[in-house]
Amino acid sequence: MMKLKSILASKILFNSKQKSISSGPGFFTIRAIFLLIWILVLWIGIIVHADRAESKLYIDITSPSMRRISIAMPDFKYLGKKNEHPDLSSKLAGIISNDFDLSGYFKPLDKDSFIEGPESGVTRDSIHFKDWSVIGAEILLKGGYECIGQRLKVEVRVFDVYSGSQLYGKRALGSVEESRYLMHRLGNDIIFSLTGHPGPFLTRLAFVGTSTGRKEIYISDYDGHNLKQTTSYNTITLSPRWSPLGDRMIYTSFRNSRTVLFMHDVIKGSVAKISDRKGLNIAAAWTPNGKELALTLTISGNPDIYLIDITGKILKKLTRNWGIDVSPAFSPDGKKMAFVSNRSGSPQIYVLNLINNQVERLTFEGNYNTSPAWSKLDRIAFAGSSDGHFDIYTISPDGKDLHRVTQDQGDNEDPCWSPDGRYIAFSSHRTGSKHIFIANANGENQRQVTFFEGDQLSPSWAQHFR
Amino acid sequence: MKRNLIIVTLAVFVCSTIFLLSSCAKKQVVTEEKEIKAAPKEVAKVEKERLAAKEEEIERAERVKIERLEELESAKKREADAKKAWQERRSAKFEAESVYFDFDKSFIRTEYRPGLKKKAEFLKDNLNIHIRIEGNCDERGTNEYNLALGERRADSAKKFLVSLGSSPDRIEAISYGEERPLALGHNEGSWGQNRRDDFVIIKK
């Protein structure tokens, strides 16, 4: 707890009157300590403050249904003398506004409703909080920036509109070119200070895209920006899966009409062939320690799941059944593995206990359940069909608490979890072609994040590689 | 009196002779003159004509011979073409006739068994070729499951052909899962066409 306290302390800007921001422990004042205790109280989820306005800030992101907090994020102010990059004013605010919208915790207010005059600044004293409370803002995020050539200095302050108190303040330095990265980093920090959990804004997605007419692997930021085509094999490449660290990726690609499993080192840019056995080499999953992979091979004549090391050597045959066994997904402790099998006649999800080798059927509703994804928060997402359309569901690993995530919006498939298990990504056909959507773990706040030509499907979500 | 009779007889003879001669003698004289004049030319002409006819005869004989040879050759070619076309038709038929499957199933439906028997015969008649069976699925479900299902479909057809005597070494069974749909609709009409085994001849 003490460690957390110091982390929080270093993130909060205490002297809101001072224009330049400092976060050293030397700035501790009585007020700051109060604020710190308050944040801590929020963080452990017990509200002891009598102040009604401040109690609104309590953000319990674990509750099944959460009210989104109204946040106002006006364009950033230029704090220097000569503004060399006036476009950044709305761009910087736009990046963080989109982050907060996608986070699911906040509801950014429409800029058109803002009534604040141009004379107001970014510090507490220069803000007329009535201007914000009257339009329904609960939280106000104010930002300023300064450029020297390509150098960019950004400062961000977060205020509780009702009490007028500053909840967060920090400055970040970088280049104009990496402004998206800077804003994501600040956004993560703000989310951490308000919820106790880091935000997802520096995570990345890998997915299959069809814009070239072939299926290739692409990587983008979690918000769909910064798109890069990773493969140009000009064949069919499928099932990208990030390593737990987010430094490597495995995928299946066709070579001479056959499926081959490859490992792509995203940092070095190198590609290695991992499994090229006779028959299928498909749908691999990483073990949580990143040292082994499970995949489906048909070397015995039947599709079974095998455990291999990252050089491709077979360690163990995990499933033995006449049926089709595919799509493995490990529990966060690595002791169980969910997979799809048609051993009962139709594709259903099963859970294999890797300690005692017991297999239990997980899904009983619907005639086609597939694509299990096991979250770090111990929940299994899958795609299921009962009415001819596929939809995303989540279920507890013991088979209880089935929750439907999508409904009546075309086909929704390929679920995957964010590295922290707080968000879910999937492909949806709701707009007429397939795009990647992200949502809160409970399915609320579904947002489209890829808008590229063709289809985007089969997402995999990587943590920020440091 | 007797002398008179002789004179009269003579006169009559002469007169009748004159009369007879006067009716055709003139012409005869002219003709003879002509024949006498034309005679050397006519001989040459006849001779020439005779030679020409002979040459023509030889030429015609040769032409007939050539024509007959050509006819023979073209008949052979036609026969070969027909045979080739027949083989091509058989190959094309072998490749064109896919086998279709029920949703999420990989067994060979009864109506496709005669077609597979014909494919086995084709393989028996063409021992030099190898084939690839490509299993395909409709878009429903994951491409991972469908890759496995597609391979099962290809394996089903392979097993059927092997059970009819085809060598398993000549048959490669692979899967494209849901990656190679023939019909792009999102309904049973399209899905039915996409749940299939394709047969491809690999020239070896």
Summarised one tens digit per residue, pLDDT across range A367-406 is: 999 999 999 999 999 999 987 889 999 999 999 999 999 9
Token couple for B178: 């849901």
Are B110 and B197 in the same domain? yes
Asked whether the beta carbons of residue A257 and residue B151 sit closer than 8 angstroms, the reply is: no
Are A150 and A209 in the same domain? no
pLDDT of residue A21: 38
Are A111 and A219 in the same domain? no
Q: What is the mean pLDDT of residues B1-17?
A: 63
Are A224 and A316 in the same domain? yes
Instruction: Indicate the residue among A161, A195, A229 that finishes a domain.
Output: A195
pLDDT of residue A364: 93
Instruction: Nearest by CB to B141, from A280, A301, A368: name it.
Output: A368
Which domain does B76 fall in, by range? 45-96
Asked whether the beta carbons of residue A279 and residue B132 sit closer than 8 angstroms, the reply is: no
ipTM above 0.95, yes or no: no
Are B59 and B137 in the same domain? no
Confidence bin at A195 (pLDDT 50/70/90): confident
Contacts of B6 (CB under 8 A, 6+ apart): none
Q: What is the pLDDT of residues A79-99, one digit of tens each?
A: 988 878 899 999 999 999 999
Are A320 and A384 in the same domain? yes
Helix intervals (H) in A196-351: none
Structurally, how many domains does chain A consist of?
A: 2
- Asked whether residue A9 carries a pLDDT value surpassing 80, the answer given is no
Interface residues of chain A, partner chain B, Cβ below 8 Å: 215, 236, 238-239, 254, 257-259, 279-280, 282-283, 296, 298, 301, 303, 324, 326-327, 340, 342, 346-347, 368, 370-371, 383, 385, 390, 413-414, 458
Q: Give the Cβ contact number of residue A57 at 10 Å.
A: 22
pLDDT of residue A317: 97
pLDDT of residue B88: 87
Are B53 and B111 in the same domain? no
The enclosing domain of A402 has a CATH number of 2.120.10.30
Question: Is residue B71 in a domain?
Answer: yes
Instruction: Nearest by CB to A370, from B134, B141, B179: name it.
Output: B141
The minimum CA-CA distance between A210 and chain B, rounded to whole Å, is 11
- Asked whether residue B75 carries a pLDDT value surpassing 70, the answer given is yes
Instruction: Indicate the residue among A158, A177, A195 that finishes a domain.
Output: A195
Q: What residue of A is the nearest CA neighbor of B154?
A: A279
Are A82 and A131 in the same domain? yes
pLDDT of residue A67: 82
Q: In this structure, what are the phi and psi dihedrals at residue A272, rounded to the nearest 5 degrees?
A: -125, 140
pLDDT of residue A56: 37
pLDDT of residue A61: 57
Are B190 and B107 in the same domain? yes
Q: What is the mean pLDDT of residues A271-294?
A: 96
Question: Cα separation of A280 and A326, whole Å?
Answer: 11
Are B115 and B177 in the same domain? yes
pLDDT of residue B37: 59
Q: What is the pLDDT of residues A325-350, one digit of tens each?
A: 999 999 999 999 999 999 999 999 99
pLDDT of residue A121: 86
3-class state of residue A410 by DSSP: coil
B147 vs A contacts (CB less than 8 Å): 259, 280, 282-283, 326
The enclosing domain of B146 has a CATH number of 3.30.1330.60
pLDDT of residue B3: 66
Asked whether the beta carbons of residue A368 and residue B151 sit closer than 8 angstroms, the reply is: no
- Asked whether residue A227 carries a pLDDT value surpassing 80, the answer given is yes
Question: Cα separation of A423 and A438, whole Å?
Answer: 7
The minimum CA-CA distance between B109 and chain A, rounded to whole Å, is 18
Instruction: Indicate the residue among A195, A229, A262 that finishes a domain.
Output: A195
Question: Cα separation of A27 and A36, whole Å?
Answer: 13
pLDDT of residue A5: 35
Asked whether the beta carbons of residue A327 and residue B142 sit closer than 8 angstroms, the reply is: yes
Are B162 and B79 in the same domain? no
- Asked whether residue B138 carries a pLDDT value surpassing 70, the answer given is yes
Q: What residue of A is the nearest CA neighbor of B135?
A: A257
pLDDT of residue B72: 92
Token couple for A357: 């080798």
Asked whether the beta carbons of residue A303 and residue B148 sit closer than 8 angstroms, the reply is: yes
CA-CA-CA-CA dihedral for B78, B79, B81, B84, to nearest 10 = 170
Which domain does A374 fall in, by range? 204-462
Highest mean pLDDT among A29-33, A148-152, A312-316, B14-18: A312-316
Average pLDDT score over chain B? 86
Structurally, how many domains does chain B consist of?
A: 2
Are B106 and B72 in the same domain? no
Instruction: Nearest by CB to A324, from B132, B145, B174: name it.
Output: B145
The enclosing domain of A101 has a CATH number of 3.40.50.10070
The minimum CA-CA distance between B132 and chain A, rounded to whole Å, is 10
pLDDT of residue A209: 98
- Asked whether residue B194 carries a pLDDT value surpassing 90, the answer given is yes
Q: What is the mean pLDDT of residues B157-184?
A: 95
A303 vs B contacts (CB less than 8 Å): 148, 151-152
Q: What is the pLDDT of residues A354-363, one digit of tens each?
A: 999 999 999 9
Are B196 and B150 in the same domain? yes
Question: Is residue B81 in a domain?
Answer: yes
Are A125 and A184 in the same domain? yes
Token couple for A181: 């990265």
Looking at the complex, does the CB of residue B100 fall below 8 Å from at least one CB of chain A? no
Looking at the complex, does the CB of residue B159 fall below 8 Å from at least one CB of chain A? no
Token couple for A295: 């995949």
Asked whether the beta carbons of residue B142 and residue A258 sit closer than 8 angstroms, the reply is: no
Question: Cα separation of A357 and A359, whole Å?
Answer: 6
Are B167 and B198 in the same domain? yes
Looking at the complex, does the CB of residue B145 fall below 8 Å from at least one CB of chain A? yes
Q: What residue of B is the nearest CA neighbor of A385?
A: B141
Lowest model confidence (mean pLDDT) among A252-256, B125-129, B171-175:
B125-129
- Asked whether residue B63 carries a pLDDT value surpassing 70, the answer given is yes
Contacts of B116 (CB under 8 A, 6+ apart): B99, B108, B157, B160, B161, B164
- Asked whether residue A12 carries a pLDDT value surpassing 50, the answer given is no
Question: Is residue B9 in a domain?
Answer: no
- Asked whether residue B45 carries a pLDDT value surpassing 80, the answer given is yes
Percent of chain A with pLDDT over 70: 86
Asked whether the beta carbons of residue A301 and residue B155 sit closer than 8 angstroms, the reply is: yes
3-class state of residue A161 by DSSP: coil
Question: Cα separation of A195 and A59, whole Å?
Answer: 6
pLDDT of residue A260: 97
Q: E strand or H helix at B198, and its extent?
A: strand B196-202
Pairing relation of β-strands A106-108 and A69-72?
parallel
Looking at the complex, does the CB of residue B179 fall below 8 Å from at least one CB of chain A? yes
Are A225 and A313 in the same domain? yes
- Asked whether residue A113 carries a pLDDT value surpassing 70, the answer given is yes
Are A341 and A451 in the same domain? yes
Q: In this structure, what are the phi and psi dihedrals at residue B157, rounded to the nearest 5 degrees?
A: -65, -40
Average pLDDT score over chain A? 87
pLDDT of residue B44: 85
Are B136 and B118 in the same domain? yes
Instruction: Nearest by CB to B144, from A326, A368, A390: name it.
Output: A326
Q: What is the mean pLDDT of residues B116-123?
A: 94
